[in-house]
Structure 1
Amino acid sequence: MRPGGPVIGPIILGLTGSIGMGKSATAGMFAALGVPVHDADAAVHALYGPGGEAAAAIGAAFPGVRDPRGGVDRARLRDAVLGDPDRMAALEALVHPLVRAASTAFLARHAAAPLVVLDIPLLYETGGETRCDAVAVVSAPPEVQRARVLARPGMNEAAFAAILAKQMPDAEKRARADFVIDTGGGFPAAEAEVARIVARLTEGRAPPHRAGG
């Protein structure tokens, strides 16, 4: 969490959740209530796309990963770094500062908003919670998660297992979160929980707690 002291600017709510939990749909619920949402995945796609800030640097560092339009072919890039920690670290060193700059620009654009959401899939895994006043974790029962993920085109058991291995266990995320949004019971219930969270964080602008505060 951000250091203690008076809230300056909007309250920052981190939104995260493992694959198949319904995080993207939940981010849309916040947006539908008028809360500005920064989608970290969308920011990365823009950075990797034709003309994106990261495309040229990634192409230079990893020959053969550019696509015909001048962007980055993410499948080729994944193959180029898979199983190679040094190459992955080199990629992260290129991309992470640009992703951070995009979120900083987002916060500057919405400095007058009472509440903003940083939608970050690997929030805890990358230490992103230190930029937030509170964290909401989107969750669902394991069987619901599994069914959702395996229904995706091109997904299989091995790929699902590999993704889960890179993510903090759902139980640990839930334990660390200020709010848990359970989508397992259907999205109407999740929408109601999102509305309660927005009301709590914007009425009096008081986050649930702050480290050191």
Structure 2
Amino acid sequence: MLLLGLTGSIGMGKSTTAKLFEEAGVPVYDADATVHKVYEGEAAPAVEAAFPGSTVNGKVDRQKLSAMVVNNADAMKKLETIVHPMLRSHQLRFLSDAEKSGAPVAVLDVPLLYETGGESRVDAVVVVTTAPEIQRERILARDNMTPEKLDAILSRQLPDAEKRKRADFVVDTSHGLDPVRQQIGEILRDVVKMPRRRS
């Protein structure tokens, strides 16, 4: 089974692209959804112990936690040491299930793939991109989003141009869903001819 890493900066259309991979019959691991799941369950006690006041009713309150770790590299590191091993075990379970299902290709949808060195764990990387003005428009339309918050998020992400340069495949979501579906079809045709390269 070949493993595709799917990544892209905030507001690029990565979630939509992941759904279209699923639509094409590809198993997709959603890192963000898994974070939500562990925050609502197994991670909550350890996160509360490390960051008192960050949980409500036994679940991590993402806004409260975010206020405690954003712009604080040490706090962020502390959080990652709690959460990353849990996420890794979920990911390994997903891979094992995908392998057993006989799928020729599986996708790991990981927002900070390059930032966390995740490209070494996949065989090829798909970067989702769009025009900068479309990106800003999409993000600022979200609830609770401010230009300051957006800048803080972007400062933690590798610039889009750098991601595109390092990608094996680039999917542009600027022109609607049909061109994206077409690009996904081409990627799935090409990737099965590629050598496995994950470490």
Supply the distance in 1 between the matched residues of 2:71 and 2:158 (Cα, whole angstroms). 19
Other-structure match for 1:26:
17
Supply the distance in 2 between the matched residues of 1:33 and 1:83 (Cα, whole angstroms). 39
Supply the distance in 2 between the matched residues of 1:161 and 1:184 (Cα, whole angstroms). 21
Other-structure match for 2:30:
39
Amino acid at match of 1:140: T
Supply the distance in 1 between the matched residues of 2:95 and 2:19 (Cα, whole angstroms). 18
Of the three residues 190, 194, 199, the one matched with 1:207 is: 194
Of the three residues 47, 56, 65, the one matched with 1:67 is: 56
Check 1:89–1:105 CA distance in 2 against 1; reply closer, same or farther (3 A cut). Answer: same
Other-structure match for 2:177:
187
Of the three residues 154, 159, 173, the one matched with 1:169 is: 159
Q: Secondary structure at the match of 1:110?
A: helix
**Deviation at 1:146?**
1.0
Structure having the larger proportion of residues in helix: 2
Normalised TM-score (structure 2): 0.95
Amino acid at match of 2:12: M
For the 8 Å contact 1:178–1:208, the answer to whether it is kept is no
What is the CA RMSD across the aligned residues, in angstroms? 1.5
Query: What are the ranges of 5 or more consecutive residues in structure 2 without an aligned counterpart?
Result: none
State the identity as a percent.
52
Matches within 5 A, 1:1-213: 10-49=1-40, 52-68=41-57, 70-111=58-99, 112-201=102-191, 205-207=192-194, 210=197
For the 8 Å contact 1:149–1:160, the answer to whether it is kept is yes
**Deviation at 1:210?**
3.6
Query: What are the ranges of 5 or more consecutive residues in structure 1 without an aligned counterpart?
Result: 1-9
Q: Secondary structure at the match of 2:59?
A: coil
Figure out how many residues of one structure are paired with residues of the other and give that number.
Answer: 197
Check 1:144–1:209 CA distance in 2 against 1; reply closer, same or farther (3 A cut). Answer: farther
Q: Secondary structure at the match of 1:181?
A: strand
Q: Secondary structure at the match of 1:88?
A: helix
| Structure 1: 4+ residue segments shifted above 6 A | none
Supply the distance in 2 between the matched residues of 1:195 and 1:40 (Cα, whole angstroms). 23
Supply the distance in 1 between the matched residues of 2:131 and 2:195 (Cα, whole angstroms). 25
Q: Secondary structure at the match of 1:21?
A: coil
For the 8 Å contact 1:30–1:194, the answer to whether it is kept is yes
* CA deviations over 1:60-100 (Å, ceiling 9, x no partner): 111111112x1100111111223322221111100111111
**Deviation at 1:53?**
1.4
Other-structure match for 1:7:
none
